[in-house]
Amino acid sequence: MTGRGRPLATFVVTSIALFMGALDNLVVTMALPAIKTHLHASLASLEWTVNAYTLTFAVLLLPGATLGDRFGRKKMFLIGLGIFTGASALAALSSSADQLIAARALQGVGGAIITPLTLTLLSVAVPAAKRGLALGAWGAIAGLAIAVGPVVGGAIVDGASWSWIFWLNVPIGVALLPLAWRLLAESHGPSSKLDGVGTVLATAGLFSVVLGLVRANDWGWGSGRIVGLFVVSAAFLTAFVWWEARVAEPVLPLRLFQHRGFAMSNVASLFMFFGMFGSIFLLAQYLQVGRGYSPLSAGVRTLPWTAMPIFVAPIAGLLSDRIGGRRIVATGLFLQAVGLGWLATVASPTVSYLTMVPGLAISGFGMALFFAPVANLVLSSVRHEEQGIASGAHNAIRELGGVFGVAVLASVFAHSGGYSSPQAFTNGVVPAVWVGAAIVALGGMAALLIPRRPVSDVTVDDEAGLPSDTRLQPTTA
């Protein structure tokens, strides 16, 4: 049963919530050096400051939408918004790195509930004739949050302190809660059973492997603790695959990966986010620690990369309709790899910013080419009735790519460099970004393996104007 709310009011409420959650993906990157100084945080703690949010967000993204379908989308949206707002306050009040990491994990829980429900609430409230326009604006807002994230983070750290990147969420969330309660209409989706066992197994397996990657340099790659973590992770993930193949309503239907288009699209996305987020994690700090820019100056200097999709993505979308999304995605990934390679080549404590601009711009151009058609490639690689769960799985997988990218590239960085001087930081950044470039290039090769002919065209439901199952289609980065 669904209820239609006020379209404009629903759009405003859900868009603000989406922007707030998407902003947290990158806004914290510019605050990492300040967090390191004020909380005496180690490199491992900085990794977890990013990954605690992304990991919980990725793992709980699919269950978050299912909870909305079962218990009410408006109700779960309010709960998720309350969790996110409260966790933001806890993050701002943190007096140690461990407290901040715990608060960030709780933020991820709230974000995983909010993000998919912003789309389903909006799709129910907006009439079919105007839904395409509304969802296009919804996607543009998510892209804008990614573009301005580093700038906003840098401005806040420069003008106030790192804690204000989290305090900023609190008044917005507090004001949004009563508005959402009053203006949103309640709706429900299919009464799906929550795959609690699968969620727990996936969380335990992924947490173990990420912890092993983060701690490997400190504890030793061949130490008993690291080997034990990898063994435990393999056991949990094997159990997860076994369980998902047998449960009636799995959190991640493995049958989807029988479609080569779906499998290769997700490999390409996994590798793209691996290289991109891992590199941004280090390059955002390099501009401050290695080059001496202030947080705001560093954030502004990332704009040739992060803002490029705003201008290029619409053109890429038109081109993908004419020559096919597979070629556009592959080209974008190879350009991203070239851009990262450029940055790794020129990086030094004395390099001029103008020398870095081509690498940043090429990376941004490649990122834009990737983002525009990849969602359509995923949806067209599966049957019509599988498109909702396929989109949700795709978004979870690419978020996990970011988690592994930060963990692995930070490990490469720690092996070759450190924070003791600009030169030491550069020594660590260069091999790490080269690894990121290589992984993204592998993603481009995976994209070339996507079949030219889709399994099915993306059809539209006559009543809703959307793919038949929209409950799991968040498209934020």
| 188 plus 120 within the same structural domain | yes
CATH of the domain at 30: 1.20.1250.20
Same domain, 149 and 203: no
pLDDT at residue 463 is higher than 80: no
What is the model's pLDDT at position 388?
A: 63
- 453 with 329, same domain: the answer is yes
pLDDT score for 186: 87
Q: Are residues 443 and 457 in the same domain?
A: yes
Determine the Cα angle at 342 with ends 428 and 279, to 5°: 45
CA–CA distance, 61 with 477 (Å, rounded to integer): 13
Q: Which of 175, 193, 211 is the last residue of a domain?
A: 193
* Three-state helix/strand/coil letters over 222-278: CCHHHHHHHHHHHHHHHHHHHHHCCCCCCCCCHHHHHCHHHHHHHHHHHHHHHHHHH
If asked whether residues 225 and 323 sit together in one domain, one would say no
Residue 294 confidence (pLDDT) above 50:
yes
CB 469 within 8 A of CB 445: no
Q: Are residues 321 and 212 in the same domain?
A: no
Of 274 and 121, the structure prediction assigns the larger pLDDT to 274
- Checking 33-37 for CB contacts under 8 A at 24+ apart, the result is 33/285, 33/288, 33/289, 33/295, 34/157, 34/161, 34/162, 34/295, 35/97, 35/100, 35/162, 36/419
Q: Kindly state the average pLDDT of the residues 291-316.
A: 86
Q: Can you give the residue range of the structural domain that contains 204?
A: 196-248
Instruction: Please report the pLDDT score of residue 433 as a whole number.
Output: 97
Total number of domains in the chain: 3
Length of the chain: 477
Mean pLDDT of 339-344: 97
Confidence of residue 136 (pLDDT cuts 50, 70, 90): low
Residues 183 and 234 in one domain: no
* Residue 432 vs residues 105, 314, 438: alpha-carbon distances, Å: 25, 31, 10
Q: Which of 2-6, 216-220, 276-280, 425-429 has the highest mean pLDDT?
A: 425-429
The answer to whether residues 374 and 397 belong to one domain is yes
Task: Identify the domain boundary among 193, 215, 239.
Answer: 193
Q: Are residues 186 and 200 in the same domain?
A: no
Q: In the predicted model, is pLDDT for residue 362 greater than 80?
A: yes
Residues 157 and 277 occupy one common structural domain:
no
Decide which of 177, 193, 209 is a domain's last residue.
193
pTM of the shown model: 0.83
Rounded Cα–Cα distance for residues 194 and 242 (Å): 17
Same domain, 299 and 317: yes
The amino acid that residue 75 corresponds to is: K
pLDDT value of residue 72: 87
Q: Between 139 and 251, where is the model more confident?
A: 251
Helices (H), 72-195: 73-92, 97-125, 128-159, 164-167, 169-183
Looking at the structure, do residues 324 and 361 belong to the same domain, yes or no?
A: yes
Q: What is the pLDDT of residue 127?
A: 76
Residue 458 predicted with pLDDT over 50: no
Average pLDDT over residues 114-121: 83
